[in-house]
Structure 1
Amino acid sequence: MDEQNKPIRKTDRRTLYTRQVIKDALLEAMHKKPFERITVTEICRLAEITRATYYLHYQSLTDVLDDALDDALHIAESETAAGAENLLALSHRLASIPADHLQESDSLMPVCQRAASLPKYKVLFLDETISGYVVNRIYQSQKQRFIHSFSQQFHLSEKESQLLALFIINGSFSVNKALHWQKDDTWYQIQALLLRFISSGYDGILPADATAP
């Protein structure tokens, strides 16, 4: 039997399809009620699967939530135009853009903001009952990039880098939450202000022998 006809490939496709149906059912349910009030029974009904099928793929609704959040972050990461640009250079680049032109550079914005802009996944960011959980998931997915950049560019320890990343991610999330994740003129004005604030902060902790980009 050649590679492309192996049964495992069909099984993998079915598994991916079923998991996607379950995640879509969760997102649909979250448009009607908070995550904490959703049940496995409801997800099975919306997904048109049995409980036995559900538990073949997920142990809990939190596992489904994690998978959906990871999908959103992965899509946002793959669509970013920042590439390998380091955080310091990217921060200065964004801080130099006037608020009324910032929308044209959405592809350079942080991953969490891009993920929240995806229509399919926005509901994950609007549910206040899981805000703390969501921002921690974002932090866990992004912290290594921050730690690497901060240690390389600012000569900070791993602990210092972790805490600075925590401050930036939680602060940005809280501001976006207060603005209801609505990307209107006010949102872009506030983002421009925060970008200048963060960029100046980065300059303030640069080592004496380093120069800003």
Structure 2
Amino acid sequence: MGRFREHGHPLGLIMVADNPLAHDLVAAKLLHLDPSQIGHLQAAILRGYTPVSLDDIEILGDYPLAEILNKTAGLSTGMIRVEEFPSPLSIRSGTPYCTGGCQGIFLDWLYMLNDRAPQKLGRLPAIPVIIGRTEEEITAPRMLVIGDCAAQSPHLHGKQLRIAGCPPTHRDLILQMALKTRAFAPFIRADMVWDSYAVYPWRKWLKRKNRKVGQGDEPEGQG
């Protein structure tokens, strides 16, 4: 699990661009990623946005590309599909594959668990987790079905514990796992539930309040 615990690699580099697509195409190159395999880049290109390749981009600066590429060679970016994340779970990813949807949210949850309690990751039950609609024939005493698309899979045989949504939010994902404690005790992280339903909303409210004060609004009771 070592390569999944990397938290930043200083490159001494600042990237600035006047075109977001150009920025991400260059960033992909610097990280040795194939732009044709990055969903949002291909979606932008298919919708007519430009540039479409690195050949159309003028790259300026005093940091040689060869030096940057040498630093990033072999770097783990963490950009993997959810079913590639090593765990006892038997994750079946169907269609569509949504990096910002069900697959991405569940992958985020796995990373959160790995960061906070890696020892619990290895104790997850070896059960099927279906994310996205699949035509695969899956038979198991119990299975976790994530999202509305997965619930449309026609060949799931066994007790289905469903978490609805398109996609479910991070908070709902954590809460629904908590509500299914009897079936999925290894999933439960009380601190994640606390963060999602107590700490995070309070921080969000406080940030919004501070932003209003910074814009000139006076707090209630003052003036």
TM-score scaled to structure 1, two decimals? Answer: 0.23
Please identify the structure whose Cα radius of gyration is greater.
Answer: 2
Say which structure is richer in helix: 1
Greater relative contact order (CA < 8 Å, ≥ 6 in sequence) = 1
